[in-house]
Amino acid sequence: MELQRIVVAHFSPTGGTKKVAQALQNGFKAGVEGLECQVVPFNFLSPTIRAKRVPKFTEHDLLIFAYPVFFGRMPWAFENWPELVGNGAKVIVVSVYGNRAIEDAARETMSFLSNHGFKVLGHIEAIAQHSQESTLAAHRPDDEDVVELKSFAQRILQTIKDQGFASLKEYEFDCTTPLKAPGKAPCVPFITDADNCDQCLRCVSACPCGIIDKDTISVKDEDLALCMGCRACMNVCKSCTRGFPQKVHQAIAERMAMIKAANSERKPNVLSLAP
């Protein structure tokens, strides 16, 4: 069983996870001598793409699965995804986080992918600017991160070349301890200044949960609990009218100031493969 294709997948509401995935993808594309394979991207942010355009995986594929950590858990937008079928493909999970902590997100994502028919080979921890507080891990992944992430891709390829794709050992993870309770976004973003909304509908298309109603450009009451607080809708709003009231901004800023004070050191990117 040979490696034929590497699918570099990313779910990136505000762009940090995408940068990490691109750095890894460039490392895979650079290749190592004597190991040929196709490298393709897969952006699974959109619910329509997750439903209709999932690659067909086989045991000849390696999936690189990059996602952002939310409240120490995997984002729930894609947890119900019957179209994702591994068919024995191998996967390396890439947990992208904002310099605080990954907590249960990695083992949750490994369990999720394993339940979908993938064999987990390893884990990458990568840092990206915190999407709730831009001064935490500001501008990461930066040039140093990009070089390191590319080197991770090269190390993975070299391991495949040295050990053979079929003989790679599976990565062990804890899938029995209960997960921490899911976090809750403090407020669902809404149109704070209707006069400035030009009804471009960018926020409607950007929402990874597909919960912004296109007629009212707002989230219906029955869908409020589905909002992850990911900020994709705010990120694409050119007039910055989609957001929170000042009081909520203030509360988030105070909480994030405490998190920042406790996590001021530059945390490392880490690659772990089964020994």
Ligand X SMILES: Cc1cc2nc3c(=O)[nH]c(=O)nc-3n(C[C@H](O)[C@H](O)[C@H](O)COP(=O)(O)O)c2cc1C
Residues forming contacts to ligand X in the complex (CB under 6 A) are 12-17, 68-72, 96-101, 128-132, 185, 229-231
First to last CA, the chain: 20
- Structure tokens given for 66: 């990059």
Partner in contact with 75, chosen from ligand SF4, ligand X, none, beta carbon below 5 to 8 Å by kind: none
Q: How far is the CB of 195 from ligand SF4 (least distance, A)?
A: 11
Instruction: Please state, in angstroms and rounded to a whole number, the distance separating the CA atoms of residues 69 and 128.
Output: 10
- Residue 130's binding partner, choosing from ligand SF4, ligand X, none, with beta-carbon cut-off 5 to 8 A by kind? ligand X
Query: Of 34-42, 65-73, 121-129, 231-239, which segment contacts ligand SF4 by CB under 6 A?
Result: 231-239
Q: Could you give the angle at the alpha carbon of 86 between the alpha carbons of 83 and 103, nearest 5°?
A: 90
Token pair belonging to 118: 């993938």
In the block, tokens 């053979």 appear at: 164
Residues 150-189 that bind ligand SF4 (CB under 6 A): 188-189
DSSP 54: P
- Among residues 167 and 246, whose Cβ is nearest to ligand SF4? 246
Contact between 198 and ligand SF4 (CB under 6 A)? yes
When binding is defined by CB under 6 A, the residue of 9, 92, 233, 271 that contacts ligand SF4 is 233
Three-state secondary structure readout of 39-73: EEEEECCCHHHHHHCCCCCCCCEEEEEEEECECCE
Q: Which is nearer to ligand SF4, 173 or 190 (CB)?
A: 190
Structure-block tokens of residue 200: 């471009």
Q: Which is nearer to ligand SF4, 89 or 233 (CB)?
A: 233
Answer for the pair 35, 198: CB distance below 8 angstroms, yes or no. Answer: no
Q: Which does 121 bind (CB under 5 to 8 A by kind): ligand X, ligand SF4, none?
A: none
